[in-house]
Amino acid sequence: MANSKYKKNKKPNTYLRIFTLVVLMVGIYYFIPKLGSFRNTFSVLKDSSWWWLVVAFIAAVASFFAAGFTQYAAGGSIGTIMEITIVQTAGSFVNHFLPFNLGGVNLISKYYVKLGKKQAEAVIMSILPLIFGIITTVLTIAIISPITITNYVQHLHKTRFNSLELAGIIIGLIIIAVLIVAFKNKIKIYIKEALLGLKSVSDFKQLSYLILGSMAITVTSTLILYASIKAIHQPADLIAIFTLYVTSSLVSNIAPTPGGLGATEAFLLVGLVAMHLNLSQGAAVILIYRFFTFWLPIIPGGMAMHRVNKLKIVG
């Protein structure tokens, strides 16, 4: 019995080793000889448009309020939306150090327990935004993907992909396929949690608020990526950027690193190269995007964490 359990646990690790080896081999064979292209990255950043950086900053701030609103809806509008936003922001700070959003879920569930909710109910409330985020992301991919595929087919008829673009598309497909296989058990758990979470939604008003909040997070995050590309004076196809964001967010959610660090950047680089940006431009876009979505939020997150501890908002 113990041996069979060990084998079941070992299988995903085997897939991850294979996946890591494939990525490493591709990197050694293809990308390392092109590392010289990254020398121009800081030149690209230096010439970036301040106007679009301001747009990215405003979208990043809006995403915090969207996340707070979504969590407020997930909790059935108990507590105050200001406290929820503070706790949510503090949770995002903790998530910078723990994978799979575990720190944020734990902090928010403690807040609901302090408000009188049972532990199981509090946990469901805290993970409900994650569940709806994944649901809306998957539905969005299902809707947008046919349009994106059509655009790629039309592009293929008009021009030929160069070797870098083909490599980017192939690597992207490999990454998606391997991640689905490697994390199929985690995906099953998400599906079960999604069904459990949906049962906990009390009425249509709460459901509509959750969907609205989840879409607001998606839109603001997409806008940050869009502004990051426009900031380096590159053309940006909104549908392609939207598809790249929602797929990269899935990678970020299932990657076993805090905030999907590493895996998200690699996936974004592949996607940006497939969108005809060179390596220097792609790296510049990622630095801008992750600055506004991962590194900069550490500051308000740390301040929110300090306030949570000072006011003892969480039990």
Model pLDDT, residue 226: 96
- The model's pLDDT over 137-154, given as tens digits with 9 standing for 90+, comes to 777 777 766 665 565 555
Model pLDDT, residue 11: 47
List, in order, residues 6 or more apart from 58 with CB less than 8 Å away: none
**pLDDT grade for 178, boundaries at 50, 70 and 90:** low
**pLDDT grade for 222, boundaries at 50, 70 and 90:** very high
Pairwise pLDDT comparison (94 vs 165), residue with the higher score: 94
Domain ranges of the chain: 69-311
Instruction: Please check the confidence at residue 165 and state whether its pLDDT lies above 80.
Output: no
Model pLDDT, residue 27: 52
**pLDDT grade for 291, boundaries at 50, 70 and 90:** very high
| Residue 287 vs residues 53, 99, 108, 227, 229: alpha-carbon distances, Å | 12, 21, 29, 12, 11
**pLDDT grade for 99, boundaries at 50, 70 and 90:** confident
Classify residue 73 as exposed, middle or buried by CB count within 10 Å of its CB (0-12, 13-18, 19+). Answer: buried
Instruction: Count the neighbouring beta carbons within 10 Å of the beta carbon of residue 166.
Output: 12
**pLDDT grade for 170, boundaries at 50, 70 and 90:** low
> pTM here?
0.76
Q: Say what percent of the chain tops pLDDT 70.
A: 68
Nearest to 122 by CA among 130, 112, 137, 135: 112
Pairwise pLDDT comparison (301 vs 259), residue with the higher score: 301
Pairwise pLDDT comparison (300 vs 40), residue with the higher score: 300
Least confident of 111-125, 170-184, 252-266: 170-184
Nearest to 67 by CA among 312, 300, 310, 243: 300
Classify residue 120 as exposed, middle or buried by CB count within 10 Å of its CB (0-12, 13-18, 19+). Answer: exposed
Model pLDDT, residue 4: 45
Nearest to 100 by CA among 91, 109, 87: 91
**pLDDT grade for 176, boundaries at 50, 70 and 90:** low
Pairwise pLDDT comparison (257 vs 126), residue with the higher score: 126
Model pLDDT, residue 76: 87
Handedness of CA 250, 254, 259, 265 (dihedral sign): negative
What is the crossing angle of helices 163-182 and 184-200, to 10°? Answer: 70
- The model's pLDDT over 78-90, given as tens digits with 9 standing for 90+, comes to 888 999 999 999 9
Instruction: Count the neighbouring beta carbons within 10 Å of the beta carbon of residue 42.
Output: 13
